[in-house]
Chains A and B, each alone.
Chain A
Amino acid sequence: MFEIFGIPSTALFGQLLIGLINGSFYALLSLGLAVIFGMLNIINFAHGAQYMLGAFAAFLLLQYTGLNYWWALIVVPIILGVVGVITERLFLQWLYRLDHLYGLLLTFGLALVIEGVFRNEFGSSGLPYRMPSALTGGQNLGFMFLPNYRAWVIVASLVVCFGTWFLIERTRLGAYLRAATENPTLVRAFGINVPRMITLTYGFGVALAAFAGVMAAPIYNVSPQMGSEIIIVVFAVVVIGGMGSILGAIVSGFALGIIEGLTKVFFPEASNVVIFVIMAIVLLVRPAGLFGQSS
């Protein structure tokens, strides 16, 4: 064991790892928010609730059908993606011509309902989810101990983030998507079904949140309020990064997770507020966000 700035290296690297893990979730969630916002012009307040639903779905699948973690990782995003599609058809599609604020209010209402129902059904103490047996244990890297599951979360989240980036920035489908974001009327004139694309985009965004939820289940307790706890921080992350760019959302998610982890080492009292403070500073210096274009 050695020391850096008077802090034992294990503590430092331990918090750095926790920061990276939190950053993985910030990145996945802010990515989903950015994708949804790009297409629907709606800030999806229910994103936290959908992340929570992902974790609960994994928990319930294991409890009642015995489907394990790996199945949950595939099945849960699909189920919640479908739920997202239904949500968009039932509620959101009526709001596109209105002020963007109504989308925020409606999804806030949905979040209250979902969280309230789960709180009544499962209490607020949180339920444990067993870690998949293949990923228990860990590696001794010499300077720190790296639990296998945490390494997996970081790698999986990076893969999904960059997969999404590739899908949107480098494929034909992504090109349609970006074009429809810029000018939906023109893209429709080329014979592309934009309303269906909007619906599927929302479904995809919800599926991303659900995926994050499944991955979070073994690390954090599965609890009804896990979504509202994280979503406000993710909003700050999104304001810092600017919602214009996919890459910006990913980079700022990971970076802010790490900064939060480091704050826990050097100045623990401020670890809850550091991201909000950074947001305020960024707004004063660069109002459009670090990766956003000023309008």
Chain B
Amino acid sequence: MAHAGQIAEKRSAMRVQAETIAFVIMVAALIVAPFFVYPIFLMQAMCFALFACAFNLLVGYVGLLSFGHALYFGWASYLAAYAAKAWGLPPILAILTGTAAGAVLGLLAGVVAIRRQGIYFAMITLALAQMMYFVALQAPFTGGEDGIQAVPRGYLFGIVDLRGEVAMYIFVLVIFLAGFLFIYRIIHSPFGEVLKAIRENETRAISLGYKTERYKLMAFVLSATLAGLAGATKALVVQLASLTDVNWPMSGEVVLMTLVGGLGTIFGPVVGAVTIVSMENFLAGIGRWVPVIQGTIFVACVLLFRRGIIGELAAKLRIRL
């Protein structure tokens, strides 16, 4: 037993070491990258990476596949854009408004959706998201097909002008890293351990006395809130909130990002998001074919490498995630 314990401890130490190295590399890359790549592209990629991390919190660590995460991303983006433009709120408050919208919508949808598991859960979340897509389509404040355009980025703390690319980049980087570390903290907290227990064997978790429904709802709300944070930030980055962000292909896209990077891995969603966003950017000239390519990647991932980029890499390096 002592031997097994030692091995487990060693493995866990190895994992922490690998994660620390990966985190340092990620931060270094994000600091250096804007000197080589368009900052606006990187900022968008970070928003999608945070979105994918938030989604992964639910699918990777609780085992609940949501097919409607565009709901929180898109609606948060609308509310942040509206708060910044129509109410003239400063950027932090606009983003908080959007994030709060994600939280409230997550609570409402979560109460309904967690009543079923597995594929039903996926279908329910998709249907609820589609419902709110129609609401967004018809509600006057969203601007229908036009969306909310020319969203002002405003002044951070009343002094820093976020129209400057450097200031905005640092602002988005801080939000992304804060969100990422928060998710890391959740996953490695006692709460996160219960979530993983539910993923592995919900019946057993119930028999151990955990009120799994509450844990699942809490995880759902956290995931929706962080997706909201990502959507709200994106609204300020691209200065636009539109129907694209709230429609079902966006829900599919975040699933794809996470799947490509590696379900249930910390860095997978980040790698997946960067991969997919770069691909779409690279293929902008043949944009009409993007859904076909995305679909092909879906099929290839499911059939050939279900562990995703990070999962395969970890398996090669013999690191247990």
Q: A: which residues have CB within 8 A of B?
A: 37, 43, 91, 94-95, 98, 100-106, 108-117, 119-120, 228, 232-233, 235-236, 238-239, 269, 272-273, 276-277, 279-280, 283-284, 287
Measured in the bound complex, the distance between the Cα atoms of B130 and A273 in whole Å is 8
Residues from chain B with Cβ under 8 Å of A232 in the complex: 126-127, 130, 248
Q: List, sorted by A's number, 25 A–B pairs whose CB atoms are closer than 8 Å.
A: A43-B119, A43-B122, A91-B303, A94-B303, A100-B119, A101-B122, A102-B302, A105-B255, A105-B302, A106-B298, A106-B302, A109-B299, A109-B302, A112-B292, A112-B298, A116-B288, A116-B292, A120-B289, A228-B248, A273-B134, A276-B130, A276-B131, A283-B113, A284-B112, A287-B116
Nearest-CB distance from B174 to chain A (Å)? 33
- 8 Å CB contacts to A: which residues of B105-127? 111-113, 115-116, 118-120, 122-124, 126-127
Of A95, A98, A108, A113, which is within 8 A of B296 by CB?
A113
Contact A283 to B115, CB < 8 A, known contacts A112-B252, A119-B288, A273-B135: yes
Identify the closest chain B residue to A103 (Cβ): B119
Decide if B298 touches A105 in the complex (CB within 8 Å). Answer: yes
The interface centre, meaning the residue of A103, A109, A287 with most chain B CB atoms within 10 A of its CB, is A109
Decide if B123 touches A109 in the complex (CB within 8 Å). Answer: no
The interface centre, meaning the residue of B115, B119, B138 with most chain A CB atoms within 10 A of its CB, is B119
Decide if B127 touches A91 in the complex (CB within 8 Å). Answer: no
Instruction: List 19 extra interface pairs beyond A101-B118, A104-B122, A233-B127, CB under 8 A.
Output: A43-B119, A43-B123, A91-B299, A101-B119, A102-B302, A105-B301, A106-B303, A108-B298, A109-B297, A109-B299, A112-B292, A113-B299, A119-B291, A228-B248, A232-B248, A239-B120, A276-B131, A283-B112, A284-B112
Identify the closest chain A residue to B117 (Cβ): A295
Measured in the bound complex, the distance between the Cα atoms of B101 and A85 in whole Å is 45
Measured in the bound complex, the distance between the Cα atoms of B118 and A212 in whole Å is 28
Contact A287 to B115, CB < 8 A, known contacts A109-B295, A112-B292, A120-B288: yes
Identify the closest chain B residue to A277 (Cβ): B131
Decide if A284 touches B115 in the complex (CB within 8 Å). Answer: yes
Measured in the bound complex, the distance between the Cα atoms of B288 and A139 in whole Å is 45
Nearest-CB distance from B260 to chain A (Å)? 11
Residues from chain A with Cβ under 8 Å of B128 in the complex: 276, 280
B306 within 8 A of A: yes
Decide if A117 touches B127 in the complex (CB within 8 Å). Answer: no
Residues from chain B with Cβ under 8 Å of A108 in the complex: 252, 255, 295, 298
Identify the closest chain B residue to A114 (Cβ): B295
B212 within 8 A of A: no
Nearest-CB distance from A175 to chain B (Å)? 26
Residues from chain A with Cβ under 8 Å of B138 in the complex: 269, 272
Nearest-CB distance from A88 to chain B (Å)? 13
Decide if A113 touches B292 in the complex (CB within 8 Å). Answer: yes
B294 within 8 A of A: yes
Main secondary structure of the interface of A (DSSP, over half): helix
B81 within 8 A of A: no
B259 within 8 A of A: yes
Residues from chain B with Cβ under 8 Å of A276 in the complex: 127-128, 130-131
- Total B residues in contact with A, Cβ cutoff 8 Å: 41
Q: B: which residues have CB within 8 A of A?
A: 65, 67, 111-113, 115-116, 118-120, 122-124, 126-128, 130-131, 134-135, 137-138, 248, 252, 255, 259, 288-292, 294-299, 301-303, 306
Nearest-CB distance from A99 to chain B (Å)? 8
Residues from chain A with Cβ under 8 Å of B303 in the complex: 91, 94, 106
Measured in the bound complex, the distance between the Cα atoms of B299 and A108 in whole Å is 8
Decide if A116 touches B122 in the complex (CB within 8 Å). Answer: no
Of B65, B112, B289, B292, which is within 8 A of A280 by CB?
B112
Residues from chain A with Cβ under 8 Å of B259 in the complex: 105
Measured in the bound complex, the distance between the Cα atoms of B290 and A94 in whole Å is 26
Measured in the bound complex, the distance between the Cα atoms of B295 and A239 in whole Å is 25
Measured in the bound complex, the distance between the Cα atoms of B126 and A114 in whole Å is 20
Identify the closest chain B residue to A41 (Cβ): B119
Decide if A115 touches B306 in the complex (CB within 8 Å). Answer: no
Identify the closest chain A residue to B122 (Cβ): A104
Identify the closest chain A residue to B65 (Cβ): A101
List of 8 A-B pairs having minimum Cβ-Cβ separation, nearest first:
A109-B298, A112-B295, A276-B131, A113-B295, A116-B292, A116-B291, A287-B115, A272-B134
Residues from chain A with Cβ under 8 Å of B302 in the complex: 95, 102, 105-106, 109
Nearest-CB distance from B215 to chain A (Å)? 18
Identify the closest chain B residue to A111 (Cβ): B295
Measured in the bound complex, the distance between the Cα atoms of B299 and A219 in whole Å is 33
Contact A102 to B306, CB < 8 A, known contacts A43-B122, A235-B126, A283-B124: yes
